[in-house]
Each structure stands twice: as C-alpha cells, then as structure tokens.
Amino acid sequence: MQSFFQTLVSGLSFGAVYSLIALGFSLVYRTMGLVNFAHGAVLMTGAYLASTFYLSARLPFAVAVPAAVLATGVVGLLIERVLRPLESKDVDLMLIGTIGAGTVLEAVAILIWTSSGRGVPSPVRAAPLDVGGVRIPVYNLVVIAVAAVTMVLLTLFLQRTKRGAAMQAVAMDPEAATAVGIHVGRSNAVAFAIGAGLAALAGSLASPMLFVSPTMGDSLGIQGFAAAILGGFGSIPGAIVGGLGIGVIGSFAAQWFQGYSDLVTFVVFTVLVMVRPTGVFGEKTVNRA
Amino acid sequence: MSRHLGAAALVAILVALLSIRLTQFRDFQMAQVAVYVTAVAGLTVLTGLSGQISLGNGAFMAIGGYGTALLLLHLAWPLAAVLAASAAIAALAGALVGAATARLHGPYLAGATLLLAVALPSLTYKYPGVFGGEQGLNVTVSAPGSVPLTRWQAWITCGCALLTLVLLANLSASRIGRNWRAVRDDEVAAALAGVNVAWARILAFVVSAACAGLAGSLLAVTTGLVAPTDFTVTLSVALLTGAVIGGLGSLAGAVWGSLLVVLVPTYATDVATSHGLSSAVGSNIPVAAYGVVLIVVMLVFPNGIQGGLRRLAARVVPSPRRDEPVPAEMNNTAVRNASREASHEEIPKTPARRRARGRIGGGGRRLRLLEHERQQQLGRADGLGAGDHQQRDPDR
C-alpha cells in the first residue's frame, strides 16, 4: 500500500508537468486548429534558459523560471511570425512548418549548450515530508501548486479579460471575430506565445526532477501530446485530467512493467481513446464547423 | 495503366545506367532514397488520398525490417519471398492498427499512431532473445555474380520502389482510389453514396503499412542491420515530412519529398565539413539548415514541391483548356480537378469539410471564405469579362 501511494505521488507530480504541456498544446489547438510539433523543442529551450539563469547567472529559482517563461514566450512569437503565412492554408503545411521550427531550435540549443545535458539541483532543500510512511518531496508539492495556480490564472485570463474573450471568439469563429474587429493574427500570436510560455514553465519545473538535455523535449512533448488527446484536445479541464492520468498511468507502468512501460502506456492509451475517440472531455473546437 | 508501366520501365533503365556510373556511396544513397520513396508513397496514399494522418509508419517499417531479419536468419527464404512476406506481415499489423483507430481523426489519430511508433521498438528490449535487444539483428544478403553489393542493393530497392509506385498509381486511379478520395472529402456523403467508410479507411492503412513494411525490409537489406534505434519517432516524422513537402496526394511528390528528406541533410553535412567547421558545429548546422529548408519550402510551395512544379509548368506552357470560358457558377478548382481526374493526375486535396470539422485541420471556414471570394472574383472576371484585371487570380 505504501509503495502504491509512493508511486501515485510521483505520478501526480509528473502529471502536473504533463498537464502544463497539454495546456500549451490545447491552447494553440483551440485557437489555431494546429498541433504544434515544435512544442517539445520550445519546452527544451525554456528548460535550458531557466537552468542557465539559475546556474550560470545565479538568479534565484523563483526569478529564473519567470524570466525563462518570458524569454521563451518571445521565441514563440518569433516562430508564429515566421509561420504566419501558412496559417490561412492547409494545416498539414503548418504541421511541417512547426516540425521545421522544432528542428532548428534543437540544433541551435545543441550549438549553444552542447549535447551533453546538465543536472539541475532541486531549489528546495527541505527534507521530504513523511505522511504515514509515504515520502513526499517538498519540491513535488511546489510543482503541483505552481501548476494549479497557473491553470487558475489561465482560466481567469480566458474568461475574464478582454484579450482572453477575444481569443475564445477566434477559437469559435475566426470570420465572425474579424467582423467584430478582433485581429485574428494577433490573437494567434498571443496564443502561441502563451503556449510557449506554458511549455517553458513545464520544462523548467521538470528540470530538477529530470535532466536537462537537448532531447528532453521529445519525450516530454509526446507525453504532453498524449495527455492533451486523452483529456480532449482543446479542453482545459481535459488537459489537466489527461496530464494527471498520463502521469499516473506512466508511473504505475514503470513500477510494474519495467523495461516495456512505454508499451503498456500505449495499450492503455489506445483502449481509452478507442472508447472515447475525442478524449474524456470531448473536442473543444467542434462548434467551429 | 500501361502508361504507368512504360514510365516505370523508362525510369528503371535510367536508374540502372545511373547506378553503374555512380560511386559506391552514391549507390547507397540511391538505395536509401528508394527506401524512403517506398514508405513515403504508402503514406501519401494514406494521408493524401484517404485523409488519415499517420505518425506511426516507422513502426510498420520496424515490423517489416525485423520480419526480414528473422525470416532470413531462421528460415533462409529467398530474398523475393522474404520481401513479400515482410510486406504481408506489416499489412496485417496495419489492418489491426487501422481497425483500432478507425474512429479516430486529426490529432487523435496522429497521437495514437505516434505512440505506436514510440512503444513498438521497446518490444525488442523486452524480448532480447528474439530481437537481439539493443544490438539488433544482422541481415546478410549476397549479390549474384560479379555485381558489387551496393549496386545490387540499389537495384533491388529501386526496383521495389518503382513497383510500389506503379501499383499505387493504378490503385489510386481505380475504384478503390476514388472511394478513398470520397471518404477524405466527405465521410457522410461517401457513406450515402454507398462507400463503406470504415473498410476504405482500414484498407488505406493496410496498403500504407504494406508499403512501409516493404520499405523497412529494404532498409534492413541495405544497411545489413535492424536495430531499435533505426526505427525511432524521428523516422516516422521524416516520412510524413517527405509526404507533405513533396505534395500530399501526389506520388511524384513522394519522390521529391524523399529526395529532399534524404539528400538535404547529407548535402548540408558535406558543405559544413568541407568548410572545416568543428564537429559540434559541423554536425548541427546541417540539422538547423534542414529545419530552415522545411520552413522555406512550405512558405514557397504551399502545395508541396510537386504542386509548385505543376504551377511553374502551367505558367511556362499555358494549357489549352485554360482559355475556355469558365462558367461563372463553377469554380476554377472544380474545373481543374475534373480535368485532373480525367487524366488520372492527383488532385491537391481541397477537403473544405474535413478542415472545417476542426480535425487536424481547423480554420476551415477561413479557407472556405477565401475560396468563395476567389470564386466570386473569378466569376466576375470570367462572366462579365470586364475590368478588374488586377483582381484576377495570379494563378490564371
């Protein structure tokens, strides 16, 4: 029972990270109808920036992470600007465009930071909490809390602010949004930048739990993508539930089926998606048609 | 049909002559391109014709590759039988995957197939006794007579690639191909017209998986080794990249796409090393350059390379039917597509419904609006034949 809860705790903390990644995917998807295949590479860029600010510039972690989020947001804006001519065209083109952008980011990251990768020491030095024999690292709680606060803020932004409402409008109907004076391109840019910022947040939060390397974006990106699908692409509660779900499934699969946990995760995922072809919470963009 | 065969025979002779003139390394590259052409052509049929995206065709290649290695190792079958059997095994796997994902669309389908590509290679670690674990399995083939091995491999791979292209070209011009296009453009309408949508979708997966399996088998024969690191997600992404960048739905595009995906990284590496860059820089500048090429090609040729070439060709040699008056209510695309359909050319996909449903596409309404405006402009220009010359579609 103890090991069960131990696995659950680690699954939930990774799940919180996956939720953040899935949120980035979902936000871009619901606004632009696009699966951003550069998301993993953007995440990796964010993690490297945060670790550079934290380790080399010796900024406190709580400053390094927001700085990295902002810087990565700018990277997101840049990518969106380059790819904007493709937005009005077939979405497969945008797909390849983002794959190209991701490739460039990864190569540039290796050029700057070399391919060897780096470990990031945990910024929280307190001893793990002991709850009934289950050891909970304090940093994992911080990660879960930060992820939760971010999701609340994002929801408030989308529902309570003018810019957020405009983005929702674009998501529902780009033409009608244009007709009432919303700049669709700008709205897409904001969505892309926020998505990049979320990826950077996820990457920098995950870096003390994992290892920062040029390939970290691939595996984390795929997990986040799976999480977004599981919850229902474009849905915010879906991203949260999907992320936690993938985290917990992956954690138990790694515990019980060492060596081929990927395969088990895949089978569970496929069965779930076969039962619910548009995710647990359903597609958020169907009302576009 | 005979047209396809004739073209293939011509290309086969050219390839054979070329392979004799080329160095060993170039022969190897030619074989690699042919492997990609085989797989990308299959993916073109799946994504371009039947409208299903797959990021998991690398997994089918793995199945074909391992099938080849095991058949050669344990049963020592003749090569032709091994190639056919590997394609058949992969086709079976494709049927399973196609059936499992028949209800999925857009990002869900992309994700499920992507996870297949992630998960399948881990089977080799689970059963190292059968699949050789991380080291993989050796594949040995011998060339007949005095033909150098690389040239023999180039011949086999190019032969299989051409055969695949001919078969797929015939298939896409047949009833089955029309059914796929119908399903891609509008599932409901296709079902109402009597097409069995689920079967069409699964069959597309089977065909595509068979091609990928054959390609994996050819890859194993060319490199002499199958290992899990040969069949990563990167391979699957490269296949889709080749299909889209060449021009989705066009088999000629599959050839352009494969050439680009295989040759650009090698060429960029050659340039980087010849300029004496250090190894860290020299090995990553080409990767960055490849990414930039992807973006630039998409920006310049939104219909893929094949679409771009076709447009250029149309500009140089204006086709006679362009001069015929276009009825105002018929849109330009429809006319062009109808004539393409008649001449068995591939149609660049214009599935407005598909995109508008917010599948992997979205923003469909914007597209439809654009198309509508274009039609109106064309209608005005053609119907009234007056003024507004600046507003005409630059395409015409």
Decide if B365 and A88 are in contact by the 8 Å CB cutoff.
no
Residue B17's contacts (CB-CB under 8 Å, 6 or more residues apart) are none
Residue A274's contacts (CB-CB under 8 Å, 6 or more residues apart) are B100, B101, B103, B104
Decide if B369 and A263 are in contact by the 8 Å CB cutoff.
no
Span B117-156, pLDDT tens digits: 888 888 887 787 788 777 878 887 777 777 778 888 888 8
pLDDT at residue A194 is higher than 90: yes
* Cα distance between residue B375 and residue B394, in whole Å: 13
Span B294-308, pLDDT tens digits: 888 888 887 778 888
Q: Over chain A, what is the mean pLDDT? A: 85
Chain B residues closer than 8 Å to A261 by CB = 122
- Which uninterrupted H or E stretch holds B365? helix B364-384
pLDDT of residue A197: 94
pLDDT of residue B280: 67
Question: Of B233, B241, B367, which is closest to A96 when you measure between CB atoms?
Answer: B241
Residue B316's contacts (CB-CB under 8 Å, 6 or more residues apart) are none
Which amino acid, B391?
Answer: Q
Domain A2-275 has CATH 1.10.3470: yes
What domain range includes position B41?
2-231
Residue B215's contacts (CB-CB under 8 Å, 6 or more residues apart) are B35, B36, B38, B39, B42, B61, B64
Lookup: tokens for B171: 């298939």
Question: Of A90, A115, A262, which is closest to B361 when you measure between CB atoms?
Answer: A90
Question: Of B290, B299, B370, which is closest to A85 when you measure between CB atoms?
Answer: B299
What's the rounded mean pLDDT across residues B162-172?
Answer: 90
Any domain includes B345: no
- Using CA coordinates, name the residue in chain B closest to A282: B108
Least confident of A120-129, A162-171, A175-184: A120-129
Any domain includes B264: no
Decide if B298 and A100 are in contact by the 8 Å CB cutoff.
yes
Residue of B97, B118, B245 to mutate, interface with A, max A Cβ within 10 Å: B118
pLDDT class for B354, splitting at 50, 70, 90?
very low
Which residue has better confidence, B144 or A153?
A153
Residue of A79, A91, A173, A271 to mutate, interface with B, max B Cβ within 10 Å: A91
Spatial contact of B105 and B351, defined as CB atoms under 8 Å apart: no
Tally of residues, chain B: 396
pLDDT of residue A42: 94
Give the 3-state secondary structure of residue B350. Answer: coil
pLDDT of residue B368: 55
pLDDT at residue B23 is higher than 80: no
pLDDT at residue B371 is higher than 70: no
* Cα distance between residue A216 and residue A226, in whole Å: 16
Chain B residues closer than 8 Å to A106 by CB = 287
Decide if B363 and A270 are in contact by the 8 Å CB cutoff.
no
Question: Of B112, B288, B356, which is closest to A107 when you measure between CB atoms?
Answer: B288
pLDDT of residue B202: 92
How many DSSP H helices and E strands does chain A contain?
11, 2
pLDDT at residue B212 is higher than 90: yes
* Cα distance between residue A71 and residue A77, in whole Å: 10
Decide if B100 and A274 are in contact by the 8 Å CB cutoff.
yes
pLDDT class for B276, splitting at 50, 70, 90?
low
pLDDT class for B331, splitting at 50, 70, 90?
very low
The residue ranges of every structural domain in chain A are 2-275
pLDDT of residue B73: 84
Any domain includes B358: no
pLDDT class for A289, splitting at 50, 70, 90?
very low
- Which uninterrupted H or E stretch holds A136? strand A134-136
pLDDT of residue B359: 37
Pairing of strands A129-131, A134-136: antiparallel
pLDDT of residue B378: 55
pLDDT class for B349, splitting at 50, 70, 90?
very low
pLDDT class for B63, splitting at 50, 70, 90?
very high
pLDDT at residue B62 is higher than 90: yes
pLDDT of residue A276: 78
pLDDT of residue B391: 40
Decide if B356 and A286 are in contact by the 8 Å CB cutoff.
no
Helices within chain A (DSSP H only): 2-32, 39-51, 61-87, 91-113, 138-160, 162-172, 174-179, 184-206, 216-231, 236-256, 261-275
Any domain includes B158: yes
pLDDT at residue A130 is higher than 70: yes
- Using CA coordinates, name the residue in chain A closest to B298: A93
pLDDT of residue B386: 37
What percent of chain B lies above the pLDDT cut of 90?
14
Measure in Å the smallest separation between the Cα of B281 and chain A Cα atoms: 6
Count of the separate structural domains present in chain B: 1
Measure in Å the smallest separation between the Cα of B160 and chain A Cα atoms: 28
What's the rounded mean pLDDT across residues B185-202?
Answer: 88
pLDDT class for B376, splitting at 50, 70, 90?
low
Span B90-111, pLDDT tens digits: 999 999 998 888 888 877 888 8
Any domain includes B312: no
pLDDT of residue B60: 93
pLDDT of residue A201: 93
- Global pTM value: 0.78
Residue of A31, A39, A103, A170 to mutate, interface with B, max B Cβ within 10 Å: A103
Pairing of strands A129-131, B137-138: unpaired
pLDDT of residue B360: 38
ipTM computed for the complex = 0.80
pLDDT of residue A195: 93
pLDDT at residue B317 is higher than 80: no
Decide if B108 and A277 are in contact by the 8 Å CB cutoff.
yes
Q: Over chain B, what is the mean pLDDT? A: 77
Residue of A79, A90, A187, A246 to mutate, interface with B, max B Cβ within 10 Å: A90
Please list the residues that pair with B175 across neighbouring strands: none
What's the rounded mean pLDDT across residues B355-362?
Answer: 38
pLDDT of residue A76: 92
